[in-house]
Amino acid sequence: MSVRGLPKAGAVRAGLLGAGLLGAGLALAASTLPPAFAAASAVAGDTTPPSAPGTLYHCPLPAPPGADFGIGVSLCWGAATDDVGVTGYDIQVKQDGAFTTIRTTTGTGLPISGLTLGQSYTFRVIARDAAGNAGPPSNEVTQTANYLSGAPPTSPPPSPTPIDRTPPTRPEGLGPYNVYLNGAAGLTWTRSTDNVAVTGYDVYAWIDGAFRKVPAQVSDRPDGSVLAIVGDLTPGRDYLFYVVAKDAAGNLSAPSDLVRQRAMVEPPSPSLSPGTGTDTIPPGTPTGLTAASGMPIPGGIFLTWNAVSDDSRIPPKYDLFRRTDHGYAYEGENATPRDIVVGLEGGKSYTFQVVARDAAGNLSNPSAPYTAVATPDGTSSPSPSPSPSASGSADTTPPSAPTGLWVCGADFTNAVPMCWTASTDDTGVAAYDVYMKQGADFVKIGSTTSTLYIAEGLVAGTSYTFYVVARDAAGNTSEPSNTLTATAQSGLPTFSPSPSPSPSPSVSPSSGIRCKVTYAANDWGTGFTTNITINNTGTTTINGWTLAFTFAGNQKISPPGWSATWTQTGNSVTAANFDWNKTIKPGESVQIGFQGTYTGSNPTPTAFTLNGTTCS
């Protein structure tokens, strides 16, 4: 991407200011392409780069009345030194935070023409020698393009301009603002600050699966806030936005929080009004975003949040976003209110927000930001790598076998999530290979560098058997882990809305209930996940339910659980329905679950009641 108004390298023109400038000692390059440094003059074996050029500064060049050399910036600098000799200088301009060479010259000054009047540009200069060694950059200079004219500068400034490396503060309080313009969305936030000055803001919108910078009319308001109007959007469509502040030196702030805003429909269109068959009501806002306790994911974070409902009675999808230095990374879509984020740096903090999305594409407001620390990665041995022996013998020591292979998640769709305890190796474990039994043989289905793998593309309800093998950089492989036989999960059940639901009490009378409860726990020693299936074995529909049971040990539920509102008092546990799964018709079932911790033993509860009726 190029700076607006700045031609590509090779198209930037050096103004030819005539013999007067040359006589003043400014050796100005007149060619339109950077000269190739003569390789033939290079000194064999020269690896010493030149010094940094002397002070880079803007050298305005007054000229006789009527002189006109175009629009640009005149630059001058002090000569660099080199053990052999400096052969040229690269003039670089900052574009989107990075410097790009746009001109090369052999002198110590150059006017850059062909720029945009009134636009600011940031430059620096690098010296090169005949061997191609590049020295350190000069100081940076930011200058506004103006009309060029020429005469020798009087004297350089007494000291170089300090390099500004301080970014603006992040925009706070980003929120929606109503603008009555068709296909437009308004945003407002608190003005950022900077050690020099904030020069502008970039607005980004989530469009077709990616955040894109969008044109926006940005203006400061008297109350200290900033207003932006984004146009050319699809009327009636929901968008996610964030904002980044910038200064004249090109420093960018951290991004604002995410915000949802709907593009205006003006005048209002009957086809987009509620009640006409078009769903325009967004899902509820996700709450309770947190890292699951007792579920360490090396180099990752296990996130959970409270499920939300939608007016369609169809469970919405969830989109998870991770904040980066200057934007947001998309961590993927989830059918259930949880996600395992891997590939992170252990011990580092990460901030997330989650957004619910219904089948019609309506977006919820983003959750409150949540910051968690990634679990340190335990895939390599803590011991230092041994020094190579005098004989130079190759590494022939295999890693230890992975242990404790277990199912480490629930309600994934057509998949089995599995975790294990890290192997050790004398030089470090490089990866893990996952094998699945197919017929009489085990076949490799994938590899990972973490201690988590999700086997996908399976058939829900079908059992599969797996094991894991560790390997090091030399290709040595460990003995297989224990085998794991697990059933591919089916995700959350999907319920179609009834055509005309009739009012009913929140909980059905217990006299007509007949039920069966299946409790299936996946245990790994100090923690566990549990899937509970509630079957309606009676002949009447259950409209609203509360399941109750008692732990026999010291088990503790780690909120929030899934597919129900979970409450624990002492050893007593209750799970109450959400709106979307309150109805269980005869012969149908719902699946709910939770994650928990314990010490000692983890006995299965022996009795369950539904709305006060004992289930089988």
Confidence of residue 492 (pLDDT cuts 50, 70, 90): low
Q: What integer pLDDT is reported at residue 409 of this predicted model?
A: 66
pLDDT tens-digit readout, 135-178:
999 999 998 887 776 434 444 444 555 678 899 999 999 999 99
Is 25 a residue whose pLDDT tops 50? no
Contact 402, 484 (CB under 8 A): no
Please provide the CATH number assigned to the domain covering 296-373: 2.60.40.10
The pLDDT of residue 112: 86
Q: Is 422 helix (H, G, I), strand (E, B) or coil?
A: coil
Higher confidence at residue 239 or residue 118? 239
Instruction: Say whether pLDDT at 305 is over 50.
Output: yes
What's the confidence (pLDDT) of residue 151? 39
CA–CA separation, 17 and 121 (whole Å): 21
Name the one residue in this structure whose structure tokens are 């008092």. Answer: 569
Question: How much is the pLDDT for 507?
Answer: 43
Residues contacting 499, CB < 8 A, separation 6+: none
Q: Which CATH class is domain 403-490?
A: mainly beta
Domain 172-272: assigned CATH number: 2.60.40.10
pTM of the model: 0.50
321-350 pLDDT tens trace? 999 999 999 998 888 888 888 888 888 999
- Per-residue pLDDT averaged across 301-307, rounded? 90
User: 312 vs 178, 262, 334, 365, CA distance in Å?
Assistant: 26, 19, 18, 17
Average pLDDT over residues 54-63: 74
pLDDT at 394: 80
Q: Is the pLDDT of residue 560 over 70?
A: no
The pLDDT of 499-527, averaged and rounded, is 65
The candidate with the shortest Cα–Cα distance to 340, out of 352, 348, 328, 349, is 352
Per DSSP, what are the bridge partners of residue 608? 549
Domain covering 13-147: architecture: Sandwich (2.60)
Q: What is the pLDDT of residue 23?
A: 30
Amino acid present at 381: S
Asked whether the predicted pLDDT for residue 80 surpasses 70, the reply is yes
Kindly indicate the confidence band of residue 415, based on its pLDDT and cuts at 50, 70 and 90: confident
- Tell me the backbone φ, ψ of residue 384, rounded to 5 degrees: -65, 150
Supply the pLDDT for residue 328.
95
CATH architecture of the domain with residue range 510-614: Sandwich (2.60)
pLDDT level of residue 582 (50, 70, 90 thresholds): confident
Tell me the average pLDDT across 467-489.
90
Going by pLDDT thresholds of 50, 70 and 90, the confidence category of residue 421 is confident
Flag whether pLDDT at 526 surpasses 80.
no
**What's the rounded Cα separation, in Å, for the pair 364 and 358?**
9
Give the Cα separation of 57 and 374 in Å (integer): 46
Buried b (16+ CB within 10 A) or exposed e, 312-339: bbbbbebbbbbbeebbbeebeebebbbb
Residue type, 2: S
Residue ranges of the chain that CATH labels 2.60.40.10 = 13-147, 172-272, 296-373, 403-490
pLDDT tens string 351-375: 999 999 999 999 999 999 999 999 8
Decide if pLDDT at 63 tops 60.
no
Q: Is 294 a residue whose pLDDT tops 90?
A: no
Q: Which candidate, 611, 575, 570, 581, places its Cα nearest to that of 593?
A: 575
Q: In what order do the strands lie in the sheet with 565-569?
A: 565-569, 572-576, 546-550, 608-610, 613-614
Q: Are 357 and 315 in contact (CB under 8 A)?
A: no
Three-point CA angle 415, 410, 259, nearest 5°: 95
Q: What is the pLDDT of residue 149?
A: 60
Q: Is the pLDDT of residue 6 over 50?
A: no
Residues 216-229, mean pLDDT to the nearest whole number: 94
Task: Provide the CB-side half-sphere exposure for 504 (13 A, CA).
Answer: 15
605 band by pLDDT with thresholds 50, 70 and 90: very high
